[in-house]
Amino acid sequence: GESVGLHLPTLSVQEGDNSIINCAYSNSASDYFIWYKQESGKGPQFIIDIRSNMDKRQGQRVTVLLNKTVKHLSLQIAATQPGDSAVYFCAENKGPNNNDMRFGAGTRLTVKP
């Protein structure tokens, strides 16, 4: 479910390293998942999505992995850059008609030069 009451977990990586951000989702009936990036003071921006009939999807420097067995989602960022520093959220479609969209707790990624 939503973890809005928790402080964000943090991940610190060196520039050029790969980053892996994890997310556990709650509803086994969720069929669509999205990763968002949120920079300070701004609204979240779409990064990549994946449907439940897939277990992997690749974009530019990003890969999303979906493990439905354990209800786990991960975002891999290759060759992390300082501009990747932000908070990353996963979101899942929930509700009886899959119309509401719930966010995970988020992870703050800090890239060290």
Partner 1 sequence: SQTIHQWPATLVQPVGSPLSLECTVEGTSNPNLYWYRQAAGRGLQLLFYSVGIGQISSEVPQNLSASRPQDRQFILSSKKLLLSDSGFYLCAWRGGYRGRTEAFFGQGTRLTVV
DSSP 31-93: -EEEEEEE-TTS--EEEEEEETT-SEEE-SSEEEEEETTTTEEEEEESS--GGG-EEEEEEEE
Question: With CB under 8 A as the contact rule, which of the stretches 14-22, 64-72, 73-81, 94-102 interacts with partner 1?
Answer: 94-102
Instruction: For residue 71, give the amino acid letter.
Output: K
Query: Of 23-42, which residues contact partner 1 (CB under 8 A)?
Result: 31-32, 34, 41-42
Q: Which of 12, 39, 51, 112 binds partner 1 (CB under 8 A)?
A: 51
Instruction: Tell which residue, 8, 23, 4, 10, has the closest CA to residue 70.
Output: 23
User: Closer CB to partner 1, residue 27 or residue 98?
Assistant: 98
User: Closer CB to partner 1, residue 10 or residue 81?
Assistant: 10
- Min dist CB 85 to partner 1, Å, is 15
Question: With CB under 8 A as the contact rule, which of the stretches 13-21, 65-73, 74-82, 95-103 interacts with partner 1?
Answer: 95-103
10 Å Cβ neighbour count for 10?
10
Q: Which of 15, 20, 46, 55 binds partner 1 (CB under 8 A)?
A: 46
